[in-house]
Structure 1
């Protein structure tokens, strides 16, 4: 999928993006929100293999602003009507500027219109209030809170919130 809006571009990740993804994934500051405050300790080879093995069931995307990579997104097909997504704006200087709503609007619109999904699901850390606010502005509904459902890299218990968005409840911010 390729989506554009003003200076933003979302496109499928290629092998040329592997080094950038590897740097982001190994950066504890970037990965802390996902429970990896020390990064995920992956290798360039592992990232390349993941990109090469992408298919229509799971596909990673790169977010670019003025042709510079600022983050990543992924969707995973759960069934013919439903997919799960993830997003990270990895360039901290690009956070808190309203891009999240626009980027998610572009991506979700593509999932509904190009891939014919009827529902998009995601989860986020219970403490990630900024993300929760964005998801709810797009029409996502809280499904459940998973209290102390997993341990992060340092052994701390973490809680998550499950969200879902039905196509006819999507509020685009484009």
Structure 2
């Protein structure tokens, strides 16, 4: 009988998951409301000039707000790692019958994360010149907030599950 571990998402404490997601996305709402209260966002102007050469997903409709939100969204893997460290002991460890299932899950999650990371972290992407749905969504500040909230949520979840699968793979190799 083979020993192994399987990630059980049902075992993640739902309340802590919601708190981590809410705390992670909350600064995006803060940036949005600051941009409404201070329309020029001159507070961040000098600071953002230092990050002009950092590739990312921006909108020329509101460049300062989109650049600020993009830079913040790049922190989601760090927040996913912190979330993983705090909730790792809450994950149930179940025996799996086939080792290939864990390998498939790990490789597909990591592969999808690498593709997402390339597009969002290492490539310049202008939303107003993108395909039709994004193009129409990128011309309003509120829809920019929803785009970046979704971007943050997706990268947060992918990083959390990538860290969890990698840890389970390491534990499987060590025979724990």
TM-score (norm 2): 0.24
Larger Rg over CA atoms: 2
- The higher relative CO (CA closer than 8 Å, separation ≥ 6) is in 2
| Greater percentage in helix | 2
| Greater percentage in strand | 1
